[in-house]
Amino acid sequence: MPPATERGLRLPTQWLGVAPFFLFALFFLILPTAYLVVGAFQNNQGEFTFDNIAALSQPSIVAAYWISIRISLASALIGALVGLAIAIAIVRGGLPGWVRSATLTFSGVASNFAGVPLAFAFLATLGRLGLVTVLLGSLGFNIYAHGFNILSFWGLTLTYLFFQIPLMVVIITPAIDGLKREWGEAAATLGATQLQYWRMVVIPVIWPSFLGTVILLFANSFGAIATAYALTGSSLNIVPILLYAQIRGDVLHNPHLGYALAFGMIVITGLANVFYIWFRTRSERWLR
């Protein structure tokens, strides 16, 4: 009879591979978020208070949230529609294979291109002395004389579209790839037109993925600060810039009000991500 194997102490080596991820999430996401949430309900003496949350009802703060939501919605909706059109073209448009690979490669890079380099690129392109502005001016069309301003709502929205559209392409392409060819063949066999196939099959299937990606794009632009601050400075009163000024102490140094502003952003982006996960789960169920 073979001797009984002794069960010694086994180290959980299978967790070592994901340990860096959990440590990163703990120190750079969970703990800072908890610190901000706790600080939002404290005063300078460390006592519990709701004054910081109540201060979010100030007209200037409400206006900052409102313009941030508007910019995020505009860039998310426009970016989603344009990105969806590009994704459909490269997947089902019958284009050469290199067009798809080139588009996805560029989208993967451009979706992460933000901050000071992106702001400088748009100032050099569409600023008052930018390349496109000068070229159009030489043709007799002054975009600034017709109301355009890079340091405005639509200027910042246009800048955000540079990374919103590629991000939409990267995320929605797998959903379009999941549309089975058999569905189109079955619809054609049953006598459905191409318009009916898209209206009754394609749109209902990719609709959850589309809505989920719109919400993700909204959260992506709502929390962006580096591009907005480098492009507009303090001329556009959006929440990330207001939060940065409050914590840095440009006017009134009240870090706990800044924590409350951050808490409001966490709530909005958190809800957006919850809806994104929900829509993503529904779309994956359809595409299995």
Mean predicted confidence (pLDDT) in 250-274: 82
Q: Is the pLDDT of residue 267 over 60?
A: yes
Question: Which is more confident, 169 or 183?
Answer: 169
Tell me the domains of the chain and their CATH numbers.
59-239+261-287 (1.10.3720.10)
Provide mean pLDDT across the span 225-242.
Answer: 81
Phi and psi at 42, nearest 5°, equal -130, 155
pLDDT, position 81: 95
The confidence band for 67, taking pLDDT boundaries of 50, 70 and 90, is: very high
pLDDT bracket for residue 249 (50, 70, 90): low
Residue 12: which pLDDT band, with cuts at 50, 70 and 90?
A: low
Looking from the CA of 147 toward its CB, the CA atoms found within 13 Å total 2
Given this model, what pLDDT does residue 170 score?
94
Residue length of the chain? 288
What share of the chain has pLDDT > 90, as a percent? Answer: 28
Reported confidence tier of residue 84, pLDDT bands at 50, 70, 90: very high
pTM of the model as a whole: 0.84
Answer positive or negative: Cα dihedral of 270, 276, 282, 287: negative
pLDDT at 252: 54
The answer, yes or no, to whether residue 4 has pLDDT greater than 60, is no
Would you state the pLDDT for residue 196? Answer: 86
Q: What is the pLDDT of residues 96-136, one digit of tens each?
A: 889 999 999 999 999 888 888 888 899 899 988 889 999 99
Residues 283 and 175 sit within 8 Å (Cβ to Cβ)? yes
Rounded to an integer, what distance in angstroms lies between the CA atom of residue 76 and that of residue 99? Answer: 24
At residue 75, the pLDDT reads: 94
Tell me, what's the pLDDT at 2? 54
Helices (H), the chain: 19-25, 31-40, 51-54, 59-92, 97-110, 116-126, 131-138, 153-177, 181-189, 194-197, 203-222, 226-232, 239-248, 255-287
Sign of CA dihedral 175, 181, 184, 186: negative
**Packing angle of the helix pair 153-177, 116-126 (nearest 10 deg):** 120
pLDDT for position 90: 93
**61 near 55, Cβ under 8 Å?**
yes
The pLDDT confidence band at residue 8, using thresholds 50, 70 and 90, is low
Query: Is 246 in contact with 258 (CB distance < 8 Å)?
Result: yes
Bridge partner residues of 42 (DSSP): 48
- The answer, yes or no, to whether residue 262 has pLDDT greater than 80, is yes
What is the average pLDDT value for the chain, to the nearest integer?
85
Per-residue confidence band for 192, with pLDDT thresholds at 50, 70 and 90: confident
Q: Which residues pair with 48 in a beta bridge?
A: 42
Please give the Cα distance from 163 to 217 (Å, whole number). 9
